[in-house]
Amino acid sequence: MCGIVGCAGPEPVLPILLEGLTRLEYRGYDSAGIALQTGSAVWRRRRPGKLAELVAVVDDAPEATTGIGHTRWATHGGPSESNAHPHTDCTGRVAVVHNGIIENYLALAAGLGPSHERTSQTDTEVLAHLVEDELAGGSSLADAVRACLARVEGSFAIAAVNAGEPGLIVAARRGSPLIAGRTETSGLVASDIPAILGQTREVYVLDDDQVVEVRPGSLRVTTLAGEEVTPVRRRVDWDLEAAEKGGYEDFMLKEIHEQPQAVAETLRERLLPDGRLHLDATTLTEDQLRAVDKVFVVGCGTSYHAGLVAKYAIEHFARLPVEIDVASEFRYRDPVLDPNTLVVGVSQSGESLDTMEACRFAKSPTNKARLLVICNVVDSSMAREADAVLYTRAGPEVCVASTKTHLAQIAGLELLALYLAQLRGTLYPLEIHALVDTLRGLPTVIERALAHEDEYMEAGRRFVDVRDFFFLGRGVGFPVALEGALKLKEISYARAEAYPGGEMKHGPIALIEPGTVVVAVATRGRLHSKMLSNIQEMRARGATIVAVANEGDDETAAQADVVLPVPATHELFSPAVDVVALQLFAYAIAKARGCDVDQPRNLAKTVTVE
């Protein structure tokens, strides 16, 4: 997803911008650009492709101390130089970078006078021309931005410079993330904290429809109407080291190995001695939670898969009906919501637009549902929207494909299920204590799974040339199959379909032929024997079976060509263990295929468009 960085200070700004853009690379992008404010104009360079392409063409950059930079993930218009940001106005004195989508850009463009020449296919460029018109009418850059954004529909985070106002960046947001930062001598703006962490730890989170004027050593925040606002200051206590690879070949491998800690941190000091769940923020009372008669879980991709696990856990432990929705679909059907409905938004970033909008829809005055958000980024948009927040404390996840935050989400959701069970009295306190103890032991069980890393990797390397995979699971093993297939697709570009084991005979089995690889999640649980029957059905048609099976389970191993051994735990917690084998299986295939596992093609870490 697009990334923004900007800095106004006393020092040469080019290296600061390039470092910031490097820190944003993990978000995924397909072009990059910068604009530097010089005395009378704006100097701009843009390149499609990786950041290195841009770095190769900035040798002749003028000395400048104020500038903005951008990594673009194409939405309107392909990834070309002309569509890359920053975009300029007709005079070349205004430059704008933008994340998000300006939905009414065609109407806004139609309203521009005939003198304006547009040079890109983007929705963004119209902003530069609108600002140009406002400046021509005598406005300052800040007034011009405020006036333009009042006319814009859609979601955005923007930053703009004007050659006529040296040492000033004006930035604003609605729906897309944006933070500002400050040192004694410089002002900074970025879409994400790592982009400016090399410069400052003092950050200010902006709210929707706020505009920040960034100058060397100072920030001024206003509403779109120009009223002064005091932004909330936050000190960031994690450092750049935490976002580095820490000796591993790539972030993905590092983050897979951080999973025991991510789960342990998420569980730490969560259950109070009286059995209450410690949430990071809540305005919900116990009575309100006790009155909940239905739960909806919404999320996208990997977060959706964690939500599926929660459905099994909440229904089983708390005996509450749970519906689970892909967030992008939720608000377009007519879900029946009311104040006794709990909507749980699950998101690593807390910024995915689809999930964010699903959460807003749930909380809207018409629906009035209670909103609990589980996310990994403190003060994210979703966290600020929620009635209650449970942060997964997995630390920054840099690899585009989620791993450690997925396990942390599962841990957080299991806790929620047990808390609801305690509130509703569906389990005896002793049962809850025993389950919580098992949950607390999960990091150790995950460590034991990681000890099988070599076996998982070796198994993966056997299938480097296979094009099509099927992943099967039953019960709580089905979300594991879905997540295993998603990981393989994302990072190795193999085709992988996931099905509940019992569903194959209703159609997909037609695709099974000698040599088809079927990865079966076959750890012990209520449906184990049924899963073994499903494996038999695949074997009978010549499939090669890779089985995720419990350590020492010879019965299952006897049905498989390759075994990925995992330690056993409570069935409903087992997804957090079993998926580790599939993450490393996918990783090995992707590496052997020479793929960039940290930044797979076409993917973005945080998807802030609909």
- Tell me the catalytic residues: 2, 605
Q: Write down the least CB distance from residue 51 to ligand F6R, Å.
A: 21
Stretch that binds ligand F6R, among 10-18, 300-308, 384-392, 437-445 (CB under 6 A): 300-308
Spatial strand order in the sheet of 210-215: 87-88, 94-102, 154-162, 169-174, 210-215, 218-223, 228-229
By CB under 6 A, residue 381 contacts ligand F6R: no
Q: 494: which 2 tokens?
A: 């193999």
Q: Rounding to the nearest 10 degrees, give the CA dihedral for residues 564, 567, 573, 578.
A: -10
Q: Write down the least CB distance from residue 610 to ligand F6R, Å.
A: 13
Stretch that binds ligand F6R, among 16-24, 299-307, 316-324, 560-568 (CB under 6 A): 299-307
Interface with ligand F6R (CB under 6 A), residue from 348, 367, 492, 559: 348
Among residues 345 and 443, whose Cβ is nearest to ligand F6R? 345
Q: Write down the least CB distance from residue 273 to ligand F6R, Å.
A: 32
By CB under 6 A, residue 392 contacts ligand F6R: no
- CA distance linking residue 595 with residue 603, whole number of Å: 13
Give the pairing of strands 3-8 and 66-72. antiparallel
Q: 469: which 2 tokens?
A: 């995979």
Among residues 122 and 303, whose Cβ is nearest to ligand F6R? 303
Q: Write down the least CB distance from residue 538 to ligand F6R, Å.
A: 26
Interface with ligand F6R (CB under 6 A), residue from 352, 381, 556, 583: 352
588 φ, ψ (degrees, to nearest 5): -65, -40
Nearest to 345 by CA among 318, 320, 316, 324: 324
- CA distance linking residue 24 with residue 31, whole number of Å: 12
By CB under 6 A, residue 300 contacts ligand F6R: yes
Q: How many CB atoms lie within 10 A of CB 103?
A: 15
Stretch that binds ligand F6R, among 66-74, 341-349, 534-542, 553-561 (CB under 6 A): 341-349
What does 320-359 look like in DSSP terms, one character per residue? --EEEEEHHHHTTS-----TTEEEEEEESSS--HHHHHHH
Q: Write down the least CB distance from residue 347 to ligand F6R, Å.
A: 3
Among residues 134 and 414, whose Cβ is nearest to ligand F6R? 414
Helices (H) and strands (E) in the chain, counts: 20, 26
Q: Write down the least CB distance from residue 257 to ligand F6R, Å.
A: 17
Stretch that binds ligand F6R, among 44-52, 298-306, 413-421, 512-520 (CB under 6 A): 298-306
Nearest to 31 by CA among 97, 81, 86: 81
- CA distance linking residue 246 with residue 271, whole number of Å: 31
Interface with ligand F6R (CB under 6 A), residue from 35, 401, 481, 562: 401
- Between residue 44 and residue 103, which ones bind ligand F6R under the rule CB under 6 A? none
- Between residue 448 and residue 487, which ones bind ligand F6R under the rule CB under 6 A? 486
By CB under 6 A, residue 349 contacts ligand F6R: yes
Which residue do the tokens 């006794």 mark?
A: 340
Q: Write down the least CB distance from residue 245 to ligand F6R, Å.
A: 18
Tell me if residue 498 falls in helix, strand or coil.
strand
Stretch that binds ligand F6R, among 82-90, 202-210, 342-350, 412-420 (CB under 6 A): 342-350
Minimal CB distance to ligand F6R: which residue? Answer: 301
Interface with ligand F6R (CB under 6 A), residue from 385, 490, 578, 598: 490
Q: Write down the least CB distance from residue 355 to ligand F6R, Å.
A: 5
Contact 212, 189 (CB under 8 A): yes
Q: Give the C-alpha distances (Å, rounded to integers) separating 272 from 81, 279, 322, 419, 588.
A: 55, 10, 25, 11, 41
Nearest to 372 by CA among 257, 295, 468, 466: 295
Amino acid at 408: A
- CA distance linking residue 546 with residue 532, whole number of Å: 12
By CB under 6 A, residue 301 contacts ligand F6R: yes
Q: How many residues bind ligand F6R (CB under 6 A)?
A: 15
Per-residue contact track with ligand F6R, 571 to 610, x per CB under 6 A? -----------------------------------xx---
Q: Give the C-alpha distances (Å, rounded to integers) separating 320 from 45, 267, 278, 309, 553.
A: 56, 22, 21, 14, 33
By CB under 6 A, residue 252 contacts ligand F6R: no
Among residues 29 and 105, whose Cβ is nearest to ligand F6R? 29
Interface with ligand F6R (CB under 6 A), residue from 200, 259, 347, 523: 347
By CB under 6 A, residue 191 contacts ligand F6R: no
Among residues 349 and 492, whose Cβ is nearest to ligand F6R? 349
Name, in order, each residue with C-beta under 8 angstroms of 387's C-beta and a sequence gap of 6 or more: 282, 283, 284, 363, 370, 371, 372
Q: Write down the least CB distance from residue 350 to ligand F6R, Å.
A: 7
Q: Give the C-alpha distances (Å, rounded to integers) separating 122 from 2, 85, 104, 537.
A: 13, 9, 12, 52
Among residues 163 and 494, whose Cβ is nearest to ligand F6R? 494
Angle between helices 442-450 and 259-267 (to 10 degrees): 180
Interface with ligand F6R (CB under 6 A), residue from 199, 266, 303, 569: 303
Among residues 303 and 341, whose Cβ is nearest to ligand F6R? 303
Q: Write down the least CB distance from residue 319 to ligand F6R, Å.
A: 28
Amino acid at 423: L
Stretch that binds ligand F6R, among 112-120, 242-250, 254-262, 349-357 (CB under 6 A): 349-357
Residues that bind ligand F6R (CB under 6 A): 300-303, 347-349, 352, 355, 401-402, 486, 490, 606-607
